[in-house]
Amino acid sequence: MIEIENVKKSFGNLEVLKGISMTVEKGEVVSVIGGSGSGKSTMLMCINGLEPIDSGRILVDGTEVHAKGTDLNKLRRNIGIVFQQWNAFPHLTVLENTTIALRKVLGKSRSEADEIAIKQLKHVGLGDKLKVYPSRLSGGQQQRMAIARALAMSPKYMLFDEVTSALDPQLVGEVLDTMRLLASEGMTMIVVTHEMAFAREVSNRVAFFRDGLIHEIGSPKQIFESPERPETAAFLKSVL
Amino acid sequence: MFGTSITWGDITFMMTGAGLTLAITFWAMLGGTLAGMVFGLIRAQSPWYVNYPMGALLDVLRSVPLLIQFILFNSFQSIAGLNMNPFVVGCVVLAAYTSAYCTEIVRGGIGAVPVTTRKAARSLGMSYWQDMRYIVLPLGTRVMLPSWIGLTLGVMKDTALVYAIGVIELLRSSQIIITRKPHEALVILAIAGLIYFLVSFPVSRLGAHLEKKWREND
């Protein structure tokens, strides 16, 4: 369970998160929508401690992420994250990209790591690209590799940060399919996205971020069909 | 030989000098690179109150002419009674000088690795040092290598300045022969130049080869 309690965060004078509270239960898929600069991505970076917070707290399975003495390296093994810019390691092959953390962080042997990685890469449809360097892959393939790389660590949670925003339109589908598959397997996911159809179809709940606050949160049906707040309706109207 | 008055003895003398040139280059690059990596790592992640004095100190090493550094350090060590031989003095001074340049190369290489790539590494549970070792340094090396090769070739030529503290390396040995056989000056200098080239060429080829190999993956 991920519990976010009244989290505030500023970059310099700019307050990006103005008191966010939200709980994500095990097995739940929560989509986060909203305009750019509304704090969606920042919140994801705070959940795995890549960004510090100013006040409030975030608990992952009861462990306070930003508490002194929390072993973030250990915590992060349970939280996979996939970024907008897929961030492949360009000096490593697809297989090596996927095994490096298994071997160096979890201390698995090469054969053990290869076995896990190959299984995950096949899962995302990259079984034939093991020895290829990321530069030879399309954006969609690199993004699926990034998903496999995160999944190989067997995380309990997956965070997706606008993972299709930087992709060519014809490549978006393959990445969304991979995420659909994951959701159907019961992975707990927080998905920051601009893909409204996807959010509506896959999510258990949808959160609308506005100005560093959760403006409205509810079932996809509620948010998309009968939003309570006029700003939610206006935002949906502008993107749909 | 070659219809000149240059003897095998002269050539052997020059080769001995060339050996010293290589030895000083080797130790200076080894020491300078190791120190430069440490300083570069520190500079890449330190707050201004560490970075500023450190940068100033390294700037001194980079801006004071090497010749002066050799003479000053040599005088200092003999006053301090360290009894270092000129070869060691040469290596130490040149290593310090090299480290100042190498620090900036390493800092630049680390800075060239995108923050987002490093975040991806950390998000997989890698520690700061694992990220450094498996992601940042291998990637940064691609950026650092051309400058580092250039530095190596430059340092090799800078070794000529150790004549000031009495080390007879390649250029100094050539000059000694020229004082004895002034009419052969051009031939002797050509031979010395050829030796420098023969040593530098493989180094720069190696650099070019590695760059090409890495580029194929990018």
pLDDT digits (tens, 9 = 90+) for A195-229: 999 999 999 999 999 999 999 999 999 999 999 99
CATH of residue A11's domain is: 3.40.50.300
Contacts of A31 (CB under 8 A, 6+ apart): A191, A192, A193, A198, A199, A202, A203, A205, A206, A207, A220
Which 97-136 residues of chain B touch chain A by CB within 8 A? 114, 116-117, 119-127, 130, 134-135
Chain B hits for A45, CB-CB cut-off 8 Å, are: 119
Say whether pLDDT at A91 is over 70: yes
Query: In the predicted model, is pLDDT for residue B2 greater than 80?
Result: no
B140-152 tens-digit pLDDT: 998 899 999 999 9
Q: What is the pLDDT of residues B48-69, one digit of tens each?
A: 898 899 999 999 999 999 999 9
- Judge: A91–B139 Cβ closer than 8 Å, yes or no: yes
Q: Which CATH class is domain B8-217?
A: mainly alpha
Can you count the helices (H) and strands (E) in chain A? 9, 10
> Cα(A119)–Cα(A155) distance, rounded to whole angstroms?
15
Q: Which residues of B touch A73 (CB under 8 A)?
A: 122, 125-127
The answer to whether B134 contacts A73, with C-beta atoms less than 8 Å apart, is no
Sheet holding A79-82, edge to edge: A79-82, A157-161, A188-192, A29-34, A205-210, A213-218
A237 touches chain B (CB under 8 A): no
What tokens were used for B104?
């900036």
Q: Give the total number of structural domains in chain A.
A: 1
Instruction: Check: pTM over 0.80? Answer yes or no.
Output: yes
Instruction: State ipTM.
Output: 0.88
Q: How far apart are CA B101 and CA B105, in angstroms?
A: 6
Nearest to B218 among A77, A90, A104 (CB): A90
Please tell me what DSSP assigns to residue A120: H
CB contact under 8 A, A73 and B119: no
- Tell me phi and psi for residue B165, to 5 degrees: -110, 15
Looking at chain A, which residue has its C-alpha nearest residue B114?
A87
- In angstroms, rounded to a whole number, what is the distance separating the alpha carbons of residues A141 and A6? 37
Domain ranges (residues) in chain B: 8-217
Which one of A50, A91, A146 has the shortest CB-CB distance to B217?
Answer: A91
Residue of chain A with shortest Cα separation from B136: A89
Range of the domain at A26: 2-239
